[in-house]
Structure 1
Amino acid sequence: MEQEKQTYQPRTLETQLPFSWKRLFFQWEWMLLLILVAVLLFGSYVSPYFLNYPSLRDGTMVFLDKAIIVFPMAMIMIMRDIDISVGSTVALSSVVMASLYTTAGLPMEVAIVACLVTGAVCGLINGLLIVKFKELSAVIVTLGTMILYRGIAYIILEDQAAGGFPEWFGFFGWGYVFGIPFLLIVFAALAIVFGILMHQTTFGRKVFAIGNNPTASRFSGVRVDRIKVIVFMLAGLLAAITAIFLTSRMGSTRPNIATMYELDIIAMAALGGVSTAGGKGRILGVVIAVFIIGYLQYGLGLINMPSQLFLIIVGALLILSVAIPKLGSMIKRK
């Protein structure tokens, strides 16, 4: 009896969802662009000097120094962690740099290297404490180091200011390259680097995997602890870079600089679409959120509005950043 030949149809597995205009235009980045346009229009309304190229260009020098830290902060939040010690790391790194130059008499180049090493060590300590004491949340650990680092800065410099840096050091905070602020160029370069790192590399995919399910990632062979330590070290290193730009812009430093920086940075990341539950976020959204909050603060400063109003507006934007994506998800399911 001749057996019937069986024919097998090849099966394909779809790795991407079919294109949808609704899904495209309900992405959070579109909403952020609309908010940014609204902020720019508001700024042009309250001040005739706001909406022009020199003003928009130079305004970036006011807020992009702290925004440098938002990239590793986004990675930390994607991994379901948080780092509230970055402001204190900025202060300690700046104080170490200033003390080595003004008190110890070391060359400014050596002091800058020491600043970067200080920030990286602070981040390393955070990472090691978090992976070694897993019963403690990252909030508790970095709360402790926030107080510790700020306290060390006060011990080194007490309540005094340190300055008198060489003239060339001011280029970091106020310099231009072909008419573009050097700080803006550095920020754009970091945005590209972290965008590639997060969305185009194996390391970035592991960060997202840890945020989605750290236990499954660990059993899948992902070295969760190692990646966390690296990311927290990156946060410390970029906090030190922020210290260089901030100190250069101010011309001096004190132990109380960068106070509340961590809240602004976390707000930028959350508004940019980084989920506090982990596993979700895009660098593009974070970049747009940086300019929303930055230009909003800059515009309010032009008309001498109280800082409390800025905090209220940022709080409202954060509530919107949580509520609107939920609404968009409900619409996309229909």
Structure 2
Amino acid sequence: MAPESTSPLRRLLATREASVVGALIVTVIAASFWIEGFATGRNTGFLILDIAAIALIALPMTLIVITGEIDLSVASTLGLTSAVMGQLWVMGLPLETIVPLCVVLGAVLGAVNGLLVTVAGLPSLAVTIGTMALYRGLAYVVLGDRAVADFPFSWTGGATARIGETQIPWVVLLVIGLAVVFGVVLHATPVGRALYAIGNNDEAARFSGISVRMTKLWLFVASGAVSAVAGVFWTLQYSSARADNAAGLELSVVAAVLLGGVSIFGGSGALAGVIGGVLLLGTIRNALQLADVSSDTLSIVTGLLLVISVVAPNVVTRLKERRRATAPPPDRAAADSSPSSSPTVPAPSKR
């Protein structure tokens, strides 16, 4: 008898995205029962504001990691954008001019990363570690140790404003809008298919006619521009332009992307899983903060989740390979289980 095919629902539940959603649901239920103040509209609003910058930066980061690259300079790009924003405000420029200039600056910083990776042929890990330090240093050159905090309330209040009578911030609409754009590009266009092809084998993708260099370059430009948008939001949210804003945020972004099921080696992953990873990471951190856990412990938790998100898929893959290696071939297993394979008893001879 032929084995029954796996149902679509069972295949869906076996995906990494379903595992992330399940872990998120369990975390929310547990935190609602055991942590006071977690299951409130006010805390939900603070949670969304807390993960907004991570969610924004994680969108282009997902596409970059799928191609087998990485951008560790995103938090430093955010910090440099914040410093430039504060310095331009001190110089007297209006925010209507400063904000688009900051986004252009972020795109230029991303283009620097992209050119070093695609034209110079340098590994993105080494490049973005270098620019991570460079951009953060430039932020201190621009603003020093000062903090600019006299932005108009019409802008700072708008960054944290809620939708109507709810506790949901308006920034969630920006995150959803960009998530739809990146999701459509990744999952419903030839560009998205090209990204997966590049991540699986960039040499084969190049021979198939895909412009690997230009694709990666534009991904780094998008990463820089979105990181600058996150920098503008971060500055207005906390009403403070500082050179050290969002220091270390790149680890949370990478952890959320990998936790959402994107392979660190490229070629696989989905944006829905990354959104789930951002929510899961943010929910865990929010619950621990309400439980008065120290910031050092939060960093440890983020690091552990990052390690788990890298190690767990490899362990699962190796277990599956070992199971397939030890399993009998399908034809032999079928032959062993069929009635005809049982030993026959010779008929008694007639005398």
Does TM, scored on the shorter chain, surpass 0.5?
yes
CA shift for structure 1 position 53: 2.9
Give the whole-Å Cα distance in 1 for the aligned partners of 2:157 and 2:196.
37
Distance 1:320 1:22, change over 3 A: farther
Is the contact made by 1:172 and 1:245 (CA closer than 8 Å) also made in structure 2?
no
Is the contact made by 1:78 and 1:207 (CA closer than 8 Å) also made in structure 2?
yes
CA shift for structure 1 position 314: 3.1
CA shift for structure 1 position 186: 1.2
Report the 3-state secondary structure (helix = DSSP H, G, I; strand = E; otherwise coil) of the residue aligned with 2:243. coil
* Equivalent of residue 313 in structure 1, options 278, 288, 301: 301
Give the whole-Å Cα distance in 1 for the aligned partners of 2:296 and 2:175.
27
Is the contact made by 2:86 and 2:143 (CA closer than 8 Å) also made in structure 1?
no
For structure 2, the 5+ residue unaligned runs are: 328-351
Identity of counterpart residues, as a percentage?
A: 35
What TM-score results when the alignment is normalised by the length of structure 2?
0.85
1:9-41 CA deviation, whole Å, 9 max, x = no partner? xxxxxxxx9754442221111211221122213
One-letter amino acid of the counterpart of residue 130, structure 2: G
Residue 240 of structure 1 pairs with residue 228 of structure 2: yes
Residue 128 of structure 1 is matched in structure 2 by: 115
Residue 139 of structure 1 pairs with residue 125 of structure 2: yes
Report the 3-state secondary structure (helix = DSSP H, G, I; strand = E; otherwise coil) of the residue aligned with 2:131. helix
Is the contact made by 1:172 and 1:183 (CA closer than 8 Å) also made in structure 2?
no
Once the two structures are superposed, the pairs formed by residues 81-230 of structure 1 within 5 Å of their partners are 81-102=69-90, 104-134=91-121, 136-178=122-164, 179=166, 180-230=168-218
Give the whole-Å Cα distance in 1 for the aligned partners of 2:119 and 2:24.
41
CA shift for structure 1 position 316: 3.5
CA shift for structure 1 position 256: 0.8
Distance 1:238 1:290, change over 3 A: same
CA shift for structure 1 position 43: 2.1
What TM-score results when the alignment is normalised by the length of structure 1?
0.89
Bigger shift: residues 175-184 or 318-327: 318-327
Give the whole-Å Cα distance in 2 for the aligned partners of 1:220 and 1:140.
28
Give the whole-Å Cα distance in 1 for the aligned partners of 2:313 and 2:180.
25
Residue 15 of structure 2 is matched in structure 1 by: 27
Is the contact made by 1:98 and 1:111 (CA closer than 8 Å) also made in structure 2?
no
* Equivalent of residue 252 in structure 1, options 240, 260, 266: 240
For structure 1, the 5+ residue unaligned runs are: 1-16
Residue 44 of structure 1 is matched in structure 2 by: 32
Is the contact made by 1:120 and 1:236 (CA closer than 8 Å) also made in structure 2?
yes
Distance 1:316 1:96, change over 3 A: closer
